[in-house]
Amino acid sequence: QKEVEQDPGPLSVPEGAIVSLNCTYSNSAFQYFMWYRQYSRKGPELLMYTYSSGNKEDGRFTAQVDKSSKYISLFIRDSQPSDSATYLCAMSANAGGTSYGKLTFGQGTILTVHP
């Protein structure tokens, strides 16, 4: 079993829909949770990160972490065609510092928002 599981999709939604992307994980040591967005033929770029449990909102994007259930989500409100990309969750047990904050990635979910 992978440490981080993410439904690869693909997910296709109409413009304006609310999108929910999810990851589950098995390592209870994970404390830092990130979402990366990857456009076609580009490298991933950090979209959001949260520490421990709770919600974080940034514009149309909301990240949720439920450590008790080992479950994280990314919600996209009023989705746009420009949101079409692969979304990867990533997790880390520590922040780095003197040791490597190793990131464990999910498989990525391919999202298409059609006009």
Which of 51, 71 has the CB closer to other proteins?
51
Report the site for other proteins in 14-73 (rule: CB under 8 A): 32, 34, 41-46, 49, 51
Paired tokens of 28? 């209870």
| 6 near other proteins, rule: CB under 8 A | yes
Q: Is 103 in the site for other proteins (CB under 8 A)?
A: yes
Under rule CB under 8 A, residue 108 binds other proteins: yes
109 binds other proteins (CB under 8 A): no
Question: Can you give the C-alpha Rg of the chain in angstroms?
Answer: 14
Phi and psi angles of residue 83, each rounded to the nearest 5 degrees, phi first: -80, -5
Buried b (16+ CB within 10 A) or exposed e, 3-35: ebbbeeeebebeeebebebbbbbeeeebbbbbb
Binding site for other proteins (CB under 8 A): 4, 6, 8, 32, 34, 41-46, 49, 51, 88, 90, 92, 95-97, 100-103, 105-108
